[in-house]
Amino acid sequence: MEYRIEHDSMGEVKVPADKLWGAQTQRSSMNFEIGVGIETMPREIINAFAILKKAAAMTNAELKPEKMTQAKLSAIAQACDEVLEGKLEGNFPLVVWQTGSGTQSNMNMNEVLANRGNQIAGEKLLHPNDDINMSQSSNDTFPTAMHIAAVTMIEDKLIPAAEVLIDTFKRLEQENEGIVKSGRTHLQDATPITFSQEISGWRSSLERDVEMLRLAVKPLCELALGGTAVGTGLNTPKGFAELVAQNVKKLTGKDFATAGNKFHALTSKDELVFAHGAIKALACDMMKIANDVRWLASGPRDGLGEIFIPENEPGSSIMPGKVNPTQCEAVTMVAVQVMGNDVAVGMAASQGNFELNVFMPVCIYNFLQSGRLLSEAILSFNKNCAVGIVANREKMHHNLHNSLMLVTALNPYIGYENAAKTAKKAYKDNISLKEACVELGFLTAERFDEVFHPEEMV
């Protein structure tokens, strides 16, 4: 492998000749061989850094034109665009398990943009610290990148995925209107419910989750950029914080604004904890929905068998013909991962010592993994399972009329205690509720038929 020599404040370092990074990135690569090639800084953070670096250059060009010239701005902007287009893939090798401030990833971006910008300009025009990092610090750029990435994940991936499944449930509600089935509480038979009502519960849960995600986005739209090292804004020109947030807003089309208190913005990660709580709420509802679906589809002969779901692949290496609810299983595993990530996000956010949180990489790594996995799991579940749900009307009808909890309809006529006796006798003697009620002398057969209408109990 061919190398070139790069230098930083600590001296010279050999860097692979075909890479755009510099000395500080190389030092990090050598000092943190933890999860290399697997747990690298998420792509969403890389893109967020490119956006904020372009916005910072635009802002500096307006406020400090003697330092950020149009030539420099043009080279930086083009290099940032190339990052966003994926053209500089392979130049961001750093792992999550590095400095807790994310300084090395900030410098990785600074070095790549400086070297690529110099190639674009055809001269040594840009310095990673003096130009790319102008009016910034790792301490305000990394939390800014976290918020940009988090808002983008929620608005562009997670909410749209949930809305796709919501639309599927709306269709299923209409298609299954009027189908009455047995309700269940505590995994035991309960009073009747329509299948469309059951589906409406799933749909409404997701709609509420989307509402909570939208609420959680608002505080995430406040950006730390402009706080620099400790929140005082040292080395930033007047108006930088406000203008750079406006430029991020222009570049993303999202409602970003500068944070009102930069000391809070650098040290607290409460907005991410709050937002991840909304993500966890969606994961919890998806766990419940997926479990409902696989219970209802259980069988095909010895389970509930009240719905049919798509048969996507063989389910066993030894039992021929077996098909399993694999999409449900994937969703529930992802839900467990999200719940675990919530603990990590909360623990990381609690480590805001004095003027800086130093658990930021692990915090955003788990946050983004949750959003990415959950959105993809929802889309997979929708495409490969939910859209193909079909009611097994015969089984629903059988289970409904075999349920002892239909006896609840008799409460107004024979009283709770007599209704309980009727249900227990029917169960013990393996006879119908009607037979038990008549044998006990609580109602005549004719009167029973007059008052007992399960389909009207919904």
Q: Indicate whether 168 and 209 sit together in one domain.
A: yes
User: What is the residue-level pLDDT of the chain in tens, covering all 458 positions?
Assistant: 899 999 999 999 999 999 999 999 999 999 999 999 999 999 999 999 999 999 999 999 999 999 999 999 999 999 999 999 999 999 999 999 999 999 999 999 999 999 999 999 999 999 999 999 999 999 999 999 999 999 999 999 999 999 999 999 999 999 999 999 999 999 999 999 999 999 999 999 999 999 999 999 999 999 999 999 999 999 999 999 999 999 999 999 999 999 999 999 999 999 999 999 999 999 999 999 999 999 999 999 999 999 999 999 999 999 999 999 999 999 999 999 999 999 999 999 999 899 999 999 999 999 999 999 999 999 999 999 999 999 999 999 999 999 999 999 999 999 999 999 999 999 999 999 999 999 999 999 999 999 999 888 99
In the numeric block, which tokens belong to residue 397?
């009808």
Is 200 a residue of the active site?
no
pLDDT for 455: 87
**Which helix (H) or strand (E) covers residue 82, if one does?**
helix 70-84
**Which of these is catalytic: 9, 127, 135, 316?**
316
* Nearest alpha carbon to residue 367 among 203, 216, 209: 216
Q: Pick the last residue of a domain from 376, 394, 412.
A: 394
pLDDT for 252: 98
Q: Indicate whether 79 and 113 sit together in one domain.
A: yes
Give a yes or no: residue 187 inside a domain.
no
pLDDT for 445: 96
Q: Indicate whether 451 and 363 sit together in one domain.
A: no
Is 328 exposed, middle or buried (CB count within 10 Å of its CB: 0-12, 13-18, 19+)? Answer: buried
pLDDT for 352: 85
Q: Pick the last residue of a domain from 134, 150, 171.
A: 134
Q: List the Cα angle 100/237/136 in 5-degree steps.
A: 15
Q: Indicate whether 128 and 275 sit together in one domain.
A: no
How many structural domains compose the chain? Answer: 3
Measured between alpha carbons, how far is 410 from 401 in angstroms, rounded to an integer?
A: 14
Which CATH number characterizes residue 117's domain?
1.10.275.10
Handedness of CA 56, 62, 66, 72 (dihedral sign): positive
DSSP 42: P
pLDDT for 1: 86
**Which of these is catalytic: 28, 29, 138, 186?**
186
Q: Position of tokens 């040292």?
A: 234
Q: Indicate whether 124 and 151 sit together in one domain.
A: no
Is 316 a residue of the active site?
yes
Which CATH number characterizes residue 171's domain?
1.20.200.10
Domain that holds residue 112: 3-134
